Structure 1
């Protein structure tokens, strides 16, 4: 009778059940693992689209831990996302149909010259007006495959290479580029792919139709 090979041990890890308001970034941070590790271990295509009740495999963890939930604007801890325009109203949401494409971000209404703030701490990797249609634009890198973009500004307050804190003013609202009214076009990109910013932020008001 052939000798059976011993069963290989499962790699250490635990399953974490997603609770309302939790983000994959916050789960990774709490367990002390890289966001990319969770994305790969769970074959996640869009880190912004985890759903309440999902079971997330945490490689290397030995016990489940309590993970905080997203905190609304004005009380967010460092590392969470806040709205780039204070008391802004969403004019156009992510995925809204346009003539030749679908909207890749949020258009947030504000008044001319109103501060646009960093939604999360990061490093300025672009500050200029060379992106077609975007007007004066700032792009921040958040060191975890995630970038945020702020477009159509009237003035830019930061330079490439500068480190900025969450809530710091980085630009002023305008209507440069392809814009018909003063607003901030806000995008979040994960590995250069646009994702729905509203899934990363607290609920917002929408303009009346």
Structure 2
């Protein structure tokens, strides 16, 4: 029995020694897992230093560049260029994207304030002597905010026209309907509401079907959804009243045009911008 016990002890010590030697020759599995997981973590936080800053947007689940562009009044192609994206179809939750032109988010306008009166101490240390004669002091002029550039006034004065004829079947609602729904027949003409440029023409935005987005200036976009045919292409210059599509029911329960006006990306009530119908 004693001899058998000794053999068992020798065998156990041999196995422990072998496993210890083996572990000294390679890193622990925990270290491997930590190293493997560090790359995706770094990738997700890329650009996080801009999160929350003016002019930047953090990608949320379900976002697309088309949706982000429309919500910020920009072309998705501009977003690709400003952010150096190699594949516009690959954006990730948590990614931080620039949504204004480079440099625009850095401009801060401050009014020029009148100089503070010089104290006795500062006057004594000044290199220029002050004449003893006291001059009358005029009151400081009232500060006025910086004047708005003339271009902004022109943009605000933009005149829209109705994009099609038909009965209004759904009005604007900030939550349920971000534009107007206008009934019609398949193939009815869809017209540009104002001069602009095509920044999107396709069916990549869920819920809009065949969609056209026009950018009119730095303030306004218009969107035309559910068409059966698109007659323009991206980056094409468009004139007010030009036929850009044919009405349809793509991604809709009936033939209709869904029309939106967006001011700096935010949907607004089109009836406040359109003439009485």
TM-score, structure 1 normalization:
0.61
Q: Which residues of 2 match residues 106-125 of structure 1 at below 5 A?
A: 106-125=180-199
Instruction: Report deviation, 1:145.
Output: 1.3
Give the number of equivalent residue pairs: 144
Higher helix fraction (1 or 2): 2
Q: Which residues of 2 match residues 13-92 of structure 1 at below 5 A?
A: 33-35=150-152, 79-85=158-164, 87-92=165-170
1:144-200 C-alpha deviation (Å, 9 max, x unpaired): 3100000000000000000000000001000001x1111100000011100000000
Gaps of 5+ in 1: 15-27, 39-46, 48-69, 71-78, 205-209
Question: In structure 2, do the counterparts of structure 1 residues 37 and 13 end up closer, same or farther at CA, with 3 Å as the change threshold?
Answer: farther
Aligned to 1:190: 263
Which of 112, 118, 127 does residue 201 from structure 2 map onto? 127
Question: In structure 2, do the counterparts of structure 1 residues 142 and 36 end up closer, same or farther at CA, with 3 Å as the change threshold?
Answer: same
Aligned to 2:15: none
- Residue 104 in structure 1 maps to residue 186 in structure 2: no
Aligned to 2:172: 94
Distance in 1 of aligned mates of 2:269 and 2:145 = 33
Which aligned runs of 4 or more in structure 1 are off by greater than 6 angstroms? Answer: none
Instruction: Report deviation, 1:203.
Output: 2.3
What SS does the aligned partner of 1:34 have? Answer: helix
Structure showing greater relative contact order (alpha-carbon pairs closer than 8 Å, 6 or more residues apart): 1
Which of 211, 228, 235 does residue 161 from structure 1 map onto? 235
Distance in 2 of aligned mates of 1:191 and 1:36 = 15
Distance in 1 of aligned mates of 2:208 and 2:255 = 13
Query: Greater CA radius of gyration, 1 or 2?
Result: 2
Distance in 2 of aligned mates of 1:198 and 1:37 = 20
1:125-152 C-alpha deviation (Å, 9 max, x unpaired): 0000000010000000011310000000
1:72-126 C-alpha deviation (Å, 9 max, x unpaired): xxxxxxx5211000x3211000018xxxx42100001111001100000100000
TM-score, structure 2 normalization:
0.47
Aligned to 2:222: 148
Instruction: Report deviation, 1:8.
Output: 1.5
Q: What RMSD in Å do the two structures reach over aligned CA positions?
A: 3.1
What SS does the aligned partner of 1:35 have? Answer: helix
